[in-house]
Amino acid sequence: MQITLVSVLVEDQDHALDFYTSVLGFKKNHDIPFGTFRWLTVTAPEGVAGVELVLEPMGFPPSRTYQKALFQAGIPLTAFMSNDIAAEYARLKERGVTFRGEPTKMGPVTAVLFEDTCGNLINLVEPAT
């Protein structure tokens, strides 16, 4: 068994695609019409081959409630790994990404939360070496 797809909830798929590609530097992988929405995935250039992030449209009303509750509670929807969190933090901050603090050592990891402009908090994490 493998995990090859992970979803983030987004209200506007075009806006999400722009943020995840233009700001974060991900690459569009699939963009397939699917009813009123699209099967829209991106991949991380430094990521594991075959792993995709689905920019999941919030077509199910309770998903909005869930996303909003996580955001307001300061709970990240998911985490992205980095081998150099200081450099990634500086690069993304320069591109206008809103962070909730600075990278902080927390036991075996250094981490910081950022807002993805789509209503999600993402935890940026660097494992200790």
pTM of the model: 0.94
Per-residue model confidence (pLDDT) at position 47: 85
Per-residue model confidence (pLDDT) at position 70: 97
> Furthest-apart CA pair in the chain: how many Å?
45
Residue 120 confidence (pLDDT) above 90: yes
Task: Write out the DSSP string of 24-49.
Answer: T--EEEEEEEETTEEEEEEE-TTS-T
**Confidence grade of residue 7 (pLDDT, cut at 50, 70, 90):** very high
Query: pLDDT tens-digit profile of 66-93?
Result: 999 999 999 999 999 999 999 999 999 9
**Confidence grade of residue 60 (pLDDT, cut at 50, 70, 90):** confident
Query: pLDDT tens-digit profile of 24-43?
Result: 999 999 999 989 999 999 99
Centroid of chain to Cα 108? 22
DSSP 19: I
Domains of the chain: 5-127 (3.10.180.10)
Strand order in the sheet with 37-43: 5-10, 52-57, 37-43, 27-34
